[in-house]
Amino acid sequence: MAACIVLASASGSLCAHANEIKIGVVDTERVLAESAPAVRALKKIEKEFLPRDQEIKKMASQAKALQDTLEKDGKTIPEADRRNKERDLATLNREYQRAQRQMREDLSLRQNDEVATLQLSASKAIQVIAEAEKYDLILPLRDLVFRSQRMDITEKVIRALANE
């Protein structure tokens, strides 16, 4: 306060203007996890990848069944049949691993697309809130050491996104 008095005498209304600065913070991770568009995107992606996931699980159970058969009957079946089953198991394991890897890559790309779209929507919502409520600065919560709860506009952003 003493600094304001000294500065006010030197520069007029500098401290009065400094008190008018309005700063807000947003927990972007929470917005990306809890907002209605985020929940919709997650359900959409789950639905989109469910058939592939089921196919991969089916391959895993086939491999398990073939492995069990080889362990149980491996010594009693003819050598040629056993080698064929081992070859089939190796092929199935390779296909399973390839399908799993491909699904992970595709899922990651799809999630990144949805996150990018959501980030754009969130940025627009934050901008609208900032302009409507006359914020001078809005920061991401992640990098802050301390903030007052009254500065947190995360709930406002989540509500704004729910209306989209």
Which amino acid would we find at residue 64? Answer: K
Q: What is the pLDDT of residues 101-129, one digit of tens each?
A: 999 999 999 999 999 999 999 999 999 99
Domain positions in the chain: 21-162
Distance CA(26)–CA(158), nearest Å, equals 10
The pLDDT of residue 45 is above 80: yes
Q: What is the pLDDT of residues 124-149, one digit of tens each?
A: 999 999 999 999 999 998 877 887 78
Contact status, residue 120 vs residue 127, Cβ threshold 8 Å: no
CA angle 112, 115, 119 (to 5 degrees): 140
CA separation (Å) from 94 to 18, 35, 59, 65?
65, 39, 10, 16
- CA 17, chain centre distance (Å): 39
Selected from 3.40.190.10, 3.30.910.20, 3.40.630.30, 3.40.1390.30, the CATH number assigned to the domain covering 21-162 reads 3.30.910.20
The pLDDT of residue 7 is above 60: no
Contact status, residue 122 vs residue 28, Cβ threshold 8 Å: yes
The pLDDT of residue 164 is above 50: yes
In whole numbers, what is the pLDDT of the chain averaged over residues?
A: 87
Residue 31 CB-density burial (10 A; 0-12 exposed, 13-18 middle, 19+ buried): buried
Report the helix count and the strand count for the chain, using DSSP H and E: 6, 2
